[in-house]
Amino acid sequence: MTAPELAAETTYRDALREAIREAMIEDERVFIMGEDVAEYGGTYAVTKGLYKEFGRDRVRNTPLSEAGFVGAGIGAALGGMLPIVEIMTVNFSLLALDQIVNTAATLRHMSGGQFHIPVVIRMTTGAGRQLAAQHSHSLECWFAHVPGLRVVAPATVTDARWMLKAAMADPDPVIVFEHNGLYNSSGPVLPGPVDLTTAEIRRPGTDLTIVASAGMVSKSLEAAEQLGDRNVSAEVIDLRSLRPLDRATLAKSVEHTSRAVVVDEGWRSVGLSAEIAAGITEDCFYRLDAPVCRVASREVPIPYPRHLEDAAIPQVHDIVAGAMTVMTGSLADV
């Protein structure tokens, strides 16, 4: 292990690019395609400059044609390539949902295990940039619902670097969610590898477990700090993998703390938070000292004005409030 202080400081965006770059150097079958990934450098500049190094064949612009190019990525994977497909946002991925759910996720099974689809599909998710109701949603759970897919959401620079690498090495379709608020975040890239299945404890604690992913991890860590001021020791778990869910790590934590708050930027109803809460209840029922609390987005398409957007998605104070409910049974002293 390299000492953390020796690791280079970089951004989430650059860490993703480095993972792509490394894979493209290592294996000629790796290529990236999507809308404006070449000269433009990708909507979030993840692929910036790569076309100069690898050419437009391997850094391949596509028409605005999500079903077409996602399907082509799946086909290319079936044909022996190792494609990375970039979709601008999860909202646009719905145009390609048929390809992902009906083809990528099913082909291995439908063919009795004869074929597999080593495709990586990257997309941006999340709110927080006043992009309103067609560019701000968190639909991770739609994908996490589907057997045959792996779904990951790296929340740190290190995870961005190494989980994308692991995704590219995986023989099955992997959906990589990149929260739009994370691209500019920076930090050291700690040594890998990072696998695609385990959750990570970001902050140890003894009184309650906060489960979060992607953009909610940093908010949960901040909430945990504030809870510390109230003598509540919160453990924060970064899910990292949304499918499969690392129930063992969650259960181990909740066995210890007996209380859990699940933070989800997706909507509360029928969402990821419900799945996690149910899993915790199934695994830890006899250790629970309070009902599992969900802190999730309000039931509204994400609105444009800043104050309404902020109110719609979980904020630090919401997480603190949820935690205090779990700790005290009431919101009275929040």
Active site members: 66, 135
Q: How far apart are CA 20 and CA 13, in angstroms?
A: 11
Element (H, E) at 165: helix 157-169
Q: Which residue of 118, 266, 279, 303 would you call a contact of another protein, by CB under 8 A?
A: 118
Of 35-43, 130-138, 225-233, 266-274, the segment contacting another protein by CB under 8 A is 225-233
Nearer to another protein, 113 or 299 (CB): 113
Q: Does 1 bind another protein (CB under 8 A)?
A: no
Copy the structure tokens of residue 309: 């957007």
User: Which distant-in-sequence residues (6+ apart) come within 8 Å of 283 by Cβ?
Assistant: 247, 250, 251, 254
Q: Which residue of 77, 155, 190, 223 would you call a contact of another protein, by CB under 8 A?
A: 77
Q: Name the minimum Å distance from CB 242 to another protein.
A: 15
Q: Does 7 bind another protein (CB under 8 A)?
A: no
Q: How far apart are CA 65 and CA 284, in angstroms?
A: 45
Cα 96 off chain centre by: 18
Contact (CB, 8 A) for 206 and 228: no
Copy the structure tokens of residue 254: 């909740």
Nearer to another protein, 68 or 128 (CB): 68
Q: How many residues bind another protein (CB under 8 A)?
A: 61
Q: Does 108 bind another protein (CB under 8 A)?
A: yes
Q: Which residue of 116, 145, 252, 268 would you call a contact of another protein, by CB under 8 A?
A: 116
Q: Which residue of 171, 193, 301, 305 would you call a contact of another protein, by CB under 8 A?
A: 171
Copy the structure tokens of residue 35: 């809308």
Q: How far apart are CA 256 and CA 261, in angstroms?
A: 14
Nearest 10 degrees: Cα torsion 90, 95, 98, 99: -80
Question: Residues interacting with another protein, by CB under 8 A?
Answer: 29, 31, 57-58, 62-63, 65, 67-81, 83, 98-99, 102-103, 107-116, 118, 147-148, 150, 170-172, 203-204, 206, 228, 231, 233, 256-258, 285-290, 329-330
